[in-house]
Amino acid sequence: MKNIEQAKLYFNDANAVLEEAKQALEHKNLNLTIRRCQEAVELAIKGLLILRGIDTPPSRDLSEILLALDPDRLLLTRKDLIHLAKINHTLSQESKTAYYGLRDDKKELFTEARAQEAVEEAKEVLNLTLKASLK
């Protein structure tokens, strides 16, 4: 499969997973919202890496890889690259808590405000990566 075709699959999956995150938020399933946002961000970033011919590791946290790259290789500004890395790292850490964290009396581990912010961050990552992929 060519890089362009594989990247399209990743971007399509990222959009589908982001829709799942929005639905989870609507149903007040905040932990699931965080996990789906992390997955959408990971897929979008991996789509861009694949498109640019960069091997993607089997890791959720791609921040170190992103920060080691020349932004020009991804057709991003340094500021945008750092922003992607920060969002990816934060959501990767939060998704571990959302998945493995202990729930006390089924209490949510995240606030609705944080879950909403995660959805907005995931949208931002998808927009940045798609924009860079079209250059």
pLDDT top residue among 58 and 27: 27
Residues 106-131: tens digit of each pLDDT = 556 889 999 999 999 999 999 999 99
Position 42 scores a pLDDT of 97
Mean pLDDT of 68-74: 93
Query: pLDDT above 70 covers what percent of the chain?
Result: 93
Pick the CATH number of 3-133 from 1.20.120.330, 1.10.20.10, 3.40.50.2300, 3.40.50.150: 1.20.120.330
- Examine the pLDDT at 105 and tell me if it is beyond 70: no
Q: What is the mean pLDDT of the chain?
A: 92
- Examine the pLDDT at 59 and tell me if it is beyond 80: yes
pLDDT top residue among 98 and 68: 68
What is the distance, to the nearest Å, from the Cα of residue 69 to the centroid of all Cα atoms in its chain? 18
